Amino acid sequence: MMILGIESAGTVASVALLLDGSILAEYSLNTKYTHSQTLLPMIDEIMERSQMRNRMNELDAIAYAAGPGSFTGLRIGGACAKGLGFALKKPLVAVPTLPAMAMRCWGAQGVVAPLMDARRGQVYTGIYEFDRASKSPEPAALSEREAIAVDELCAKLNELGRPVTFLGDGCDVSRQTIEMQLQVPYVFAPAHMNRQSASCVAMLGAIYFEKGMAESAAEAGLDYLRPSQAERVKAEKTGQSTGYDNKKNDAV
């Protein structure tokens, strides 16, 4: 099975090629360059270097980080995946950003909480654990993925009472609150495993693909978790719901 993974939900641009259970190539950049200028050249590079440029029609699916994350980042990755799926006539697999991030810390003791800076005093987060006995790479979600304040997350983790591994670009903005409020043992993942990676997206994409969760390029969507600012302001004025509740269950 061959899966191309694309991750551009945060500041990291990452692409990876999974071939029959091994990561054939991976390329990640954590620079200030826009994903629009880096992502496709990176895909080009890994395809060329792995000598798969002329074998792209053998891809089984294109897996992409479908959110939450930076709205623009998600759309660059999503539109890139859709274009590839449309042109190559290959299905897409929408992979939620947070469980894919959690996979970076597979095997960690206790639970893993990926943190993405969601601005407005919140982080996009979820709480995940791994079943080391079954050796499955897939994380199990212990909470809904959501946009919440860090102290709210700390309260949940205190209640859970298990050690925590944090990772993601939300660590920096959350560190102070965590240090003050978290009563369970915790660590921040070191640099080599604390950012998004497309190999996790490809791995989780492969699992979802085998579960039959592939979609056409036209159907595949993004999960912003939040309405646009304009919709939010309007909903506040009219008292109507925006249709977004900032939460999504990862149980599949």
Partner 1 sequence: MSDKDVTILAIESSCDETAAAVVRNGREALSGVISTQIALHKEYGGVVPEIASRKHIEKITPVVEEAVRMSGVALNDMDAIAVTCGPGLVGPLLVGVSFAKSIAFALNKPLIGVHHIEGHIAANFVAHPQLEPPFACLVVSGGHTHLVVVKDYGEYEIIGRTRDDAAGEAYDKVARAIGLGYPGGPKIDRLCREQGDPLSIPFPQSKVTGTEYDFSFSGLKSAVLNYINQMEMKGEAIDTANLAASFQHAVVMSLVNKTMHAVEEYGFTRLALAGGVASNSYLRAKMKEACEERGVQLFYPEPLLCTDNAVMIGSAAYYEYMKGVRHGYDLNAYPGLVLGEKV
Sign of CA dihedral 17, 18, 19, 22: positive
Angle, helices 35-49 vs 71-88, to 10°: value is: 40
Q: Which of residues 199-218 bind partner 1 (CB under 8 A)?
A: 216-218
Q: Cα(147)–Cα(182) distance, rounded to whole angstroms?
A: 18
Per CB under 8 A, the segment of 13-21, 31-39, 93-101, 125-133 that binds partner 1 is: 31-39
Q: How far, in whole angstroms, is CA 174 from its chain's centroid?
A: 18
Nearest to 17 by CA among 29, 36, 7, 4: 4
Q: Which of 5, 10, 68, 78 binds partner 1 (CB under 8 A)?
A: 78
Give the whole-angstrom CA distance, residue 95 versus residue 81: 12
Q: How far is the CB of 170 from partner 1 (least distance, A)?
A: 21
Of positions 23, 29, 79, 155, contacts partner 1 by CB under 8 A: 79
Residue selected from 107, 121, 185, 221 as contacting partner 1 according to rule CB under 8 A: 221
Which segment (22-30, 70-78, 108-116, 198-206) binds partner 1 by CB under 8 A? Answer: 70-78
CA distances from 1 to 8, 20, 69, 131, 193 (A): 23, 5, 28, 24, 25
**96 within 8 A of 66, measured Cβ to Cβ:** yes
For position 88 contacting partner 1 by CB under 8 A, the verdict is: yes
Near partner 1 by CB under 8 A: residue from 1, 83, 136, 249: 83
Q: Is the Cβ of residue 31 or residue 228 nearer to partner 1 in the bound state?
A: 228
Tell me: does residue 222 bind partner 1 (CB under 8 A).
Answer: yes
Contact residues for partner 1 (CB under 8 A)? 34, 36-41, 43-44, 56, 71-72, 75-76, 78-84, 86-88, 216-218, 221-222, 224, 228-231, 234
